[in-house]
């Protein structure tokens, strides 16, 4: 017991910075930070950033813009 090291290693995660929730526009799944995903501005209205998870991008699932309703591959 006395040989236990006092090394305390823990990952500090800034929870307050996780306020920006990214949701895949195709499957409505939450994209966790660090996950492979792509983000692009809607080609139709150009005001909304559409997120797409890696899985949907790979499967070429169509997305839908929450602002203008534009659907595209
Ligand atoms: Zn998805
Ligand atoms: Zn749009």
Ligand 2 centroid, distance to 43 Cα (angstroms) = 7
Total domains present in the chain: 1
pTM given for the model: 0.64
Beta-strand ranges (E) seen in the chain are: 22-23, 30-31, 37-41, 49-53, 63-64, 71-72
| pLDDT confidence of residue 52 | 92
Q: What is the pLDDT of residues 13-48, one digit of tens each?
A: 554 544 467 889 999 999 988 889 999 999 999 998
Q: Please give the Cα distance from 44 to 37 (Å, whole number).
A: 21
Which ligand is located closest to the Cα atom of residue 68? 2
Q: Please give the Cα distance from 26 to 28 (Å, whole number).
A: 6
Q: Is residue 60 part of a domain?
A: yes
Q: Please give the Cα distance from 61 to 72 (Å, whole number).
A: 9
Q: Supply the mean pLDDT for the chain.
A: 81
| pLDDT confidence of residue 34 | 85
Q: Is residue 15 part of a domain?
A: no
Ligand 1 centroid, distance to 52 Cα (angstroms) = 5
Per-residue pLDDT band for 49 (boundaries 50, 70, 90) equals: confident
Q: Is residue 26 part of a domain?
A: no
């Amino acid at each position: 017991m006395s040989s236990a090291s006092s090394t305390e290693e823990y990952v500090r995660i800034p929870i307050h910075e996780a306020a920006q929730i990214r949701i895949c526009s195709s499957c409505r799944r939450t994209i966790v930070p660090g996950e492979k995903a792509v983000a692009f501005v809607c080609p139709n209205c150009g005001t909304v950033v559409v997120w797409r998870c890696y899985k949907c991008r790979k499967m070429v699932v169509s997305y839908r813009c929450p602002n203008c309703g534009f659907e595209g591959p």
